[in-house]
Amino acid sequence: MKALVTGGTGFIGSHLVDELLKRGYDVKCIVRDTSNLKWLEGKDVEIVRGSLFDVDFLKTVVKDIDYVYHIAGVTKGRNYRDYYRGNVETTKNLLEASLYSSNLKKFILASSLSAVGPGYDKVPVDESTPYHPITSYGKSKAEAEKVALSFKDKLPIVIVRPPSVYGPRDTYTYEIFRYIKLGILPVVLPSDQILSLVYVSDLVDGFILAGESERSTGKIYFISSDEIYTWKDIEVAILRALDKKVLRVKIPAPILYSVSFVSETICKVFGKASPLNSEKIKDIRQKNWACSVEKAKRELGYRHKVPLEEGMEKTINWYIQNGWL
C-alpha cells in the first residue's frame, strides 16, 4: 500500500510516518524547500518537494497513491486569512488533485476539536454536536471539514478530530515541562475546566483505523482518551513523572490579555504570528474541551491504550534523553 502524508516533518505527521513504515506501507511525504527534515532523516520515505497550493504538482504526486493522510495545517496565523489559506485552500487543492488518483482508497483529513468548539456544561461534545468554533483556527478547520464533506460523493473521505495531543517531539507541551523543571507551574486554566487529551501513538492508531476501515467513508470521528481530565489530573501526572515540587503561580486573565496585547503588537510590526494572542487565551480559558470517543470505539474498534501518567512519563523521558530537559 502507498500512503501520501502531508505534514510528515511535524510532530503528529512524523509519528504517523513511523507507524505506516512499521506496518509495511510505502510512504511518500510532501515537504517544502524550507522544511526541517530531522524527523524523516534515515527513514525509507520518498521525499517530494513542492507546494500544497500547486494543484498540477499535487495531481502528479497522488496519481498512484492508495491513502492520502492530510496532516499539514496552520496552527499560528496573523489573521483569519492565514488560517484559511493554510487549512482550507490546501485541503481543497489536495482533494481536487485526489480526483485524479487511480487507486485512492481513502482520503483522511486531520481536523480538530476546535472545529466544533467547546462543550456546554460538563457534557463532552460528539460527532452530532453542531459547529460553533470560537477562534480563527477553529473556524478554518470547520471550513476545511465542510470542503472535505462536499467531496464525499466523489472521493472516499474520512475526517479525524483530535483534542490536544502530547508525546515525544511535541514542542507545545515541552514549554510547560520546561517551566516545571525550573520549579514554576504557571496556572492559567480555569480550576473547573474539563478536557480530553490524546497521546500521539493513540492518535496515530486512530488515523490508520479510520483510513483502513470500509465503514468510515464519509464520516467524522473524535480520536482521544476515554477519560475526561481536569487540570489537576494533568498536573499530578506531570509532577509525578518529573518527581518535582513546584511553586504554583496563578496568572489572572487580565494579565494574560495584557501580555498578549504586547506580544501581538510587537509581532505585527515584524509581520509575524504572535505565539500568544487574545484568541488563544479565549480558547484555553473555556471550561469544557472534552469529547466522546464512543463512535470511534463502536465503528472503528478504536481503543485508548496509553494512560495519562504513562504518557507523561514517556514524553518526559524522551525530552530528557534528547537533551530538551
Which residues carry out catalysis? 137
CB atoms closer than 10 angstroms to residue 269: 8
Q: Which amino acid belongs to residue 289?
A: W
Q: Which amino acid belongs to residue 39?
A: W
Q: What angle do CA 27, 28, 34 make, to 5 degrees?
A: 135
Rounded CA-CA distance 264/258 in Å is 10
Q: Which helix (H) or strand (E) holds 195?
A: strand 194-195
User: Assign residue 234 a region: left if phi > 0, alpha if psi is -120 to 50, beta otherwise?
Assistant: alpha
DSSP secondary structure, 78-115, as one string: SSHHHHIIIIIIHHHHHHHHHTT-SS--EEEEE--GGG
